[in-house]
Amino acid sequence: PAWGPAAGRQRAFSTTRSACSKNRRLRQKRALSEKKLTRYFVDHRRVRVVGGQGGEGGQSFYSEPRKIFGGPDGGNGGDGGHVILKADLQTKSLSSVLSFYQGFHGERGGSKNCYGANGACVYVKVPVGTLVKEDGVTVADLTQHGEEYVAAYGGAGGKGNRFFLSNEKRAPTLCTPGEPGQERVLRLELRTTAHAGLVGFPNAGKSSLLRALSNAKPAVAAYPFTTLNPHVGVVRYEDYEQVAVADIPGLIRGAHQNRGLGIAFLRHIERCCFLLYVVDLSVSQPWIQLQDLKYELEQYKEGLSARPCVVIGNKIDLAESRINLPLLKEKIDDRVIALSALTGDNLEELLLHLKELYDTYVKTEQSQGQSPVKW
């Protein structure tokens, strides 16, 4: 069709079109798949740390007109910088931690009794819940945001010739070099810090339940070992309290002997204050699953299965589950909450009981004079 006086010309670009406004929107970050996320999630790392070397002491003599023999005035060298590990809530994995860190060196001492500048410290951000080990011995446990640990101390600066001035030696030429920094080889282990831990066999519905409770988006599929690393979701309540729930990868029989994903993820359960056992009600004899799960936890660490817990009977929307539910309640003494993570049936009961477990944990920590973990 004719465009009037503008016929034959190319239509001008319009910034009011919906297609253009759509392109100007901020693009949301793509959700990584479980396979790609595994590359970024690292829960153990070997790190070599070396403190900065101290600066050399200065050697000089003061001299000016009418004061030729002013004496020694070489200043001391600066101290080397430390390597410091700092717990940070924004860091979720050890993937950003390098295998080698070294502090900055101190500067050399100058003339006129000027001291050399100290070397700057190197701060390494690690996730909250990082365990620091040396030769198999735990040397630090970073469980609070902002907590620091000096992994390697910097060397002391050398002494200038002014330091060696005495009545016997009025013109010392001696100055000492700076000391080397401390060198250590450390092993960092990440143990997820969460209030509640979802424990269950593969395909029990832990990831689906975490999706229903929080905004976390773990991968969900119909094959075992879909979850290859822990996910932490936050459940928010009306009183502004936040409960962190960790989705631990599925355990199998013999996990304490490092079968399946084994000990690599059993250690993440140690930090959980209370446990949520997720049982598939659609299988025959679901109480056997619960017994096997508690056995694996107890074999890994004594007393781990005795923590406050609740049994979640998942997949209640299936016909087999309604038959097995009363049988499960007869076989075990723990409280059983039947729900469906897929349809959302009876999620309210779990949310209310989760808040009760959290409030009990907070009161227990405060009564013992300790500060509870807050998210």
Mind listing the pLDDT tens digit for each residue in 190-247? 877 778 888 888 877 888 888 888 776 655 544 344 445 577 778 888 888 888 888 8
Examine residue 34 and state whether it is found in any structural domain, yes or no: no
Rounded Cα distance between 256 and 297, Å, is 7
User: Average pLDDT, stretch 132-145?
Assistant: 90
- Which CATH number fits the domain that encloses residue 63? 2.70.210.12
Q: In this structure, are 78 and 133 located in the same domain?
A: yes
Q: In this structure, are 150 and 235 located in the same domain?
A: no
Count of structural domains, the chain = 2
Which residue did the predictor score with more confidence, 296 or 355? 355
Examine residue 102 and state whether it is found in any structural domain, yes or no: yes
Three-state DSSP string of the chain: CCCHHHCCCCCCCCCCCHHHHHHCCCCCCCCCCHHHHHHHCCCEEEEEEECCCCCCCCCCECCECCECCCCECCCCCCCCCCEEEEEECCCCCHHHCCCEEECCCCCCCCCCCCCCCCCCCEEEEEECCEEEEECCEEEEEECCCCCEEEEECCCCCCCCHHHHCCCCCCCCCCCCCCCCCCEEEEEEEECCCCCEEEEECCCCCHHHHHHHHCCCCCCCCCCCCCCCCCEEEEEECCCCCEEEEEECCCCCCCHHHCCCCCHHHHHHHHHCCEEEEEEECCCCCHHHHHHHHHHHHHHHCCCHHHCCEEEEEECCCCHHHHHHHHHHHHHCCCCEEECCCCCCCCHHHHHHHHHHHHHHHHHHHHHCCCCCCCC
pLDDT at 253: 60
% of the chain beyond a pLDDT of 70: 81
Beta bridge partners of 75: none
pLDDT at 132: 94
pLDDT at 218: 56
Q: In this structure, are 332 and 241 located in the same domain?
A: yes
pLDDT at 187: 93
Rounded Cα distance between 54 and 218, Å, is 48
Q: For the ranges 18-22, 44-48, 234-238, 264-268, which has the lowest average pLDDT?
A: 18-22
pLDDT at 240: 82
Give the range with max mean pLDDT: 89-93, 232-236, 333-337.
333-337
Q: In this structure, are 104 and 226 located in the same domain?
A: no
Examine residue 374 and state whether it is found in any structural domain, yes or no: no
Examine residue 329 and state whether it is found in any structural domain, yes or no: yes
pLDDT band at 353 (very low <50, low <70, confident <90, very high): very high
pLDDT at 211: 84
User: Average pLDDT, stretch 267-278?
Assistant: 84
pLDDT band at 156 (very low <50, low <70, confident <90, very high): very high
Q: How far is CA 163 from CA 63, 77, 105, 110, 171, in A?
A: 18, 11, 21, 13, 11
User: Average pLDDT, stretch 286-313?
Assistant: 86
- Quote the domain boundaries for residue 201: 196-368
Q: State yes or no: pLDDT of 21 exceeds 80.
A: no
pLDDT at 232: 77
